[in-house]
């Protein structure tokens, strides 16, 4: 049977449209399920969508859906969740060892950045962090976030830990929520396990985690971010982020999170610098910048600390200033060299 040319053309177009439908578009993506812990079984529950909970047999307490300024079980006054209504926070009436984890596939050929807000309040200073999550090992009072091999045991702290994201530095006073971040691009093309863990066998330990995120993108995070605060405004400077064949950079978003919890302040712009207004007087912040692209928001820059008072101090000197300095130096040396040759020629002519 002979097919007319227009039938063959129609079939080709249909196949092309089907291929486009089935082929996923490259885009910036959030890889963590329920990183804000908003999806749970209710205030004070131990169940979070997307997360697996584990506890050592005989443990008391666990990671609870915490809201407001009281811990879920005891209750004790703690910092409010920095994002949304809920945070995951450990609480216990007695000794225990607990973890929350989920497995995350990092796409091949992508950059990826992990970020989170963490809170620590312990009734027993300082921390005691032996190389085990066994609460029967005394003393053991620790909190940590790790990138793990999914094949490792949930309570492994040895070879199964690929990278440590956060380790409680010790101390008893409530420090407020703090920003932590790790570049997980080295794990592109493989599945990793993100684990939150705490052990307590001295006194109560409140380990809160919120706004945990892994953003994958073709674009890279901004680097060498600088910050200058004047009153209730901080001005952030940064070098431009390059577009890629699949993602076009269209602008930037700056975000500042108050240390100790509170509302995040944001601002957008098409280039550096970006001024973020509305900061609370006397409150310190941690600020980040992320590129916005035609398909989403890319990974954030490493967090930079912004003091609570006006400051002219900046972060690391932007990378492009080094290039400018080098170019200026080379031009100056060239001018000096040419000038020296000219003077020498004139002397010889005399």
Banded pLDDT at 27 (limits 50, 70, 90)? low
CA distance 283 to 280: 6
Least confident residue range of 194-208, 263-277, 322-336: 322-336
CA distance 252 to 290: 6
Kindly list the distances between the CA atom of residue 206 and the CA atoms of 120, 122, 202, in Å, as whole numbers in the listed order.
Answer: 6, 6, 12
Q: What is the pLDDT of residues 261-299, one digit of tens each?
A: 778 899 999 999 999 999 999 999 999 999 999 988 899
Q: What is the pLDDT of residues 74-124, one digit of tens each?
A: 989 999 999 999 999 999 999 999 999 999 999 998 889 999 999 999 998
**What fold, for 29-217?**
Jelly Rolls (2.60.120)
Domain ranges of the chain: 29-217, 226-320
Given the candidates 3.30.365.10, 2.60.40.10, 3.40.720.10, 2.30.110.10, the CATH classification of the domain at 226-320 is 2.60.40.10
Residue 228 has pLDDT above 60, yes or no: yes
CB 78 within 8 A of CB 174: yes
Residue 171 has pLDDT above 90, yes or no: no
Quick one: pLDDT at residue 145? 98
Least confident residue range of 219-233, 241-255, 335-349: 335-349
What lies within 8 Å, CB to CB, of 74 at 6+ separation is 91, 93, 204
């Amino acid at each position: 049977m002979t097919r007319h040319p227009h039938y063959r053309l129609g079939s080709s177009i249909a196949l092309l449209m089907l291929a486009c439908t089935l082929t996923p578009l490259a885009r910036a993506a959030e890889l963590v399920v329920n990183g804000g812990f908003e999806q749970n079984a209710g205030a004070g529950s131990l169940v979070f969508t997307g997360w697996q909970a584990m506890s050592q047999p005989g443990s008391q307490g666990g990671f609870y859906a915490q809201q407001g300024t009281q811990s879920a079980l005891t209750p004790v006054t703690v910092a409010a969740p920095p994002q949304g209504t809920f945070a995951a926070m450990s609480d216990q009436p007695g000794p225990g060892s607990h973890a929350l984890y989920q497995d995350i596939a990092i796409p091949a050929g992508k950059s990826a950045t992990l970020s989170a807000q963490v809170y620590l309040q312990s009734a027993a200073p300082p921390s005691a962090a032996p190389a085990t999550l066994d609460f029967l090992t005394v003393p053991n009072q620790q909190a940590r976030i790790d990138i793990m091999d999914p094949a490792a045991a949930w309570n492994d702290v040895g070879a199964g830990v690929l990278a440590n994201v956060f380790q409680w530095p010790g101390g008893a006073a409530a420090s407020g929520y703090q920003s932590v971040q790790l570049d997980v691009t080295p794990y592109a093309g493989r599945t990793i396990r993100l684990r939150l863990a705490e052990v307590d066998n001295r006194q109560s330990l409140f380990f809160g985690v919120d706004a945990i995120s892994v953003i994958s993108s073709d674009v890279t995070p901004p680097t060498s971010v600088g910050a200058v605060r004047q009153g209730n405004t901080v001005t952030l400077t940064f070098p431009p982020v390059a577009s890629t064949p699949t993602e076009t950079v269209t602008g930037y978003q700056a975000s500042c999170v108050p240390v100790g919890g509170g509302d995040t302040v944001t601002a957008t712009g098409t280039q550096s610098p970006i001024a973020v207004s509305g900061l609370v007087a006397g409150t310190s912040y941690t600020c980040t910048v992320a590129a916005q692209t035609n398909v989403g928001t890319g990974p954030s820059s490493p967090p930079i600390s912004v003091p609570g008072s006006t400051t002219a101090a900046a972060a690391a000197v932007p990378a492009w200033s080094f290039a400018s300095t080098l170019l200026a130096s080379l031009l100056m040396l060239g001018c000096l060299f040419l000038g020296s040759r000219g003077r020498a020629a004139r002397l010889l002519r005399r």
